[in-house]
């Protein structure tokens, strides 16, 4: 049955909550996108177009570091509208007060996207205000995190029981939230359906969103940002193997959600269209290039220097400083972050034609560690090894994939860097 939203049936929270949460964009110190001449002992690289540093899509079905196909994934731009449904199951009574608690918890997600996208994305979340009982037991959907058909049935049933109260034609995303005592639903996978394989209501196909389980209580609202990142085409940076967080640590929300620096990497922001080509400096070939990088967490200026190192590989240099998303902590050392990008594998390190990563093998992102085998005491063990990976002082340098990156100067929060390829 198709109806308009009933009065008192929903609560709407948009990215305007950024103001209430005290999250505001931090202005960058002015630094135009420039490529400066090489030093006297280095040959200047031939200037390259940023397009020369883009990598082709991976030959995998899941998310990857190449361009996203927005026929499958959702383009992250402008205003996106999401409906949040709360569902219960026969024999399972949600804990008292949990609906209000989970509504409050998830309400922080829009401000996160607004900040990370420099205002380019406004996520409007509409929260249903009742638990709606599904026709089947929770065990019926227990394969939702490994079997797409089970997840699709779960989403469709959730949509069906809410259809009398909600006009789903008004939404781009559907989020389904289970109570914390639904033990058959432990985690929170994204919901990404190809055309014709989504859930249907009110004459529209709902192909994007997420289904939240018990881990919502652990990760908080950022699990919505992480799972919606998949909807936008971003891969998991943690490995589906024993070396889970050894490649990216806590430097990106698509890795360790609770990491001390959970903003998205510059490569991801460029991939999503939140950074323009004129904010990227590209070197494709040998020689030396210098650039001044403004902090990633503030709008404006040059954000990354990218060196193409192969058909499917690149090295990226960016400037990470304390920001509304990268927190001030002994476990976050502001500085120049260097990392490798590859499209030889997909999210989790899954190579083409496989469902499991190679232990120690290629990962979508691998951070270059200035101080390998050195951790910061007291930090989350999953992030500690790479917490001090950054180049924090002038003349700090690291070499990775034949590319030497050196910090050549500081100016306020800006950092001047030089990359050299023999």
With beta carbons less than 8 A apart as the criterion, state whether 1 and 121 touch.
no
**Residue with the two structure tokens 């859930």:** 199
C-beta pairs of 145-153 under 8 Å, 24+ apart in sequence? 145/185, 145/186, 145/187, 145/189, 145/213, 148/193, 148/197, 151/189, 151/191, 151/211, 152/191, 152/193, 152/197, 152/198, 152/199
DSSP letter, residue 235: P
What residues contact 218, with CB distance under 8 A and at least 6 apart? none
**How many residues can be counted in the chain?**
422
CA 265 to chain centre: 8
Neighbours of 79 (CB within 10 A): 11
Q: Which CATH number is correct for 10-21+70-231, 2.60.40, 1.10.287, 3.40.390, 2.60.120? A: 3.40.390
Dist CA 211 CA 142 (whole Å): 12
- CB of 13 within 8 A of CB of 107? yes
Sign of CA dihedral 199, 203, 209, 215: negative
pLDDT confidence of residue 42: 61
Instruction: Take residue 136 and report the two structure tokens written for it.
Output: 């089947």
Domain with CATH 3.40.390 in the chain: 10-21+70-231
- Alpha carbon distance 295, 414 (integer Å): 6
Q: What pLDDT score does 41 carry?
A: 53
Q: What's the farthest any 2 CA atoms get from each other in the chain?
A: 75
Instruction: Please identify which residue in the block is written with the tokens 């090894």.
Output: 385
Each residue's pLDDT expressed in tens, for the chain with a length of 422 residues: 323 232 333 333 333 333 233 333 333 433 433 344 444 456 788 778 999 999 999 999 999 999 999 999 999 999 999 999 999 999 999 999 999 999 999 999 999 999 999 999 999 999 999 999 999 999 999 999 999 999 999 999 999 999 999 999 999 999 999 999 999 999 999 999 999 999 999 999 999 999 999 999 999 999 999 999 999 999 999 999 888 999 999 999 999 999 888 899 999 999 999 999 999 999 999 999 999 999 999 999 999 999 999 999 999 999 999 999 998 788 889 999 999 999 999 999 999 999 899 988 999 999 999 999 988 888 989 989 999 999 999 999 999 999 999 999 999 999 999 999 99
- Taking the model in full, what pTM does it have? 0.90
What is residue 29's predicted lDDT score, i.e. its pLDDT?
A: 39
């Amino acid at each position: 049955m198709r109806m308009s939203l009933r009065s008192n049936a929903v609560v709407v929270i948009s990215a305007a909550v950024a103001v209430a949460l005290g999250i505001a964009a931090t202005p960058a110190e002015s630094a135009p996108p420039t490529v400066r001449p090489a030093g006297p002992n280095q040959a200047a690289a031939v200037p390259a177009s940023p397009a020369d540093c883009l990598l082709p899509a991976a030959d995998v079905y899941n998310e990857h570091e190449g361009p996203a196909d927005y026929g499958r994934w959702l383009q992250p731009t402008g205003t996106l509208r999401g409906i949040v449904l709360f569902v219960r199951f026969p024999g399972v009574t949600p804990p008292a007060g949990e609906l209000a608690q989970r509504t409050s918890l998830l309400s922080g997600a829009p401000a996160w996207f607004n900040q990370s996208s420099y205002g380019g994305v406004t996520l409007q979340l509409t929260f249903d205000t009742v638990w709606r009982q599904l026709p089947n037991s929770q065990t019926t959907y227990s394969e939702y995190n490994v079997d797409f058909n089970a997840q699709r049935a779960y989403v469709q049933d959730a949509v069906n029981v809410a259809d009398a109260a909600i006009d789903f034609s008004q939404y781009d995303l559907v989020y389904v939230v289970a109570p914390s005592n639904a033990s058959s639903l432990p985690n929170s996978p994204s919901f990404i359906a190809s055309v014709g394989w989504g859930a249907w209501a009110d004459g529209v196909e709902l192909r994007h969103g997420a289904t939240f389980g018990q881990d919502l209580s652990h990760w908080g609202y950022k699990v919505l940002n992480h799972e919606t990142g998949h909807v936008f085409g971003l891969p998991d940076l943690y490995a589906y193997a024993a070396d889970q967080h050894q490649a990216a640590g806590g430097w990106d929300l698509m890795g360790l959600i609770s990491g001390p620096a959970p903003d998205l990497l510059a490569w991801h922001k460029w991939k999503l269209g939140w950074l323009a080509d004129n904010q990227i400096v590209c070197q494709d070939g040998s020689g030396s290039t210098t650039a001044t990088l403004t902090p990633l967490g503030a709008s404006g200026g040059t954000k990354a220097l990218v060196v193409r190192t192969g058909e499917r590989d690149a090295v990226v240099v960016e400037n990470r400083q304390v920001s509304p998303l990268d927190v001030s902590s002994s476990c976050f050392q502001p500085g120049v972050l260097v990392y490798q990008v590859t499209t030889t594998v997909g999210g989790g390190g899954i190579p083409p034609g496989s469902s499991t990563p190679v232990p120690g093998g290629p990962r979508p992102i691998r951070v270059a560690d200035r101080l390998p085998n050195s951790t910061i005491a007291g930090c989350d063990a999953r992030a500690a090894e790479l917490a001090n990976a950054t180049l924090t002082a002038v003349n700090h340098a690291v070499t990775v994939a034949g590319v030497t990156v050196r910090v050549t100067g500081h100016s306020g929060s800006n950092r001047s860097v030089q990359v050299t390829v023999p």
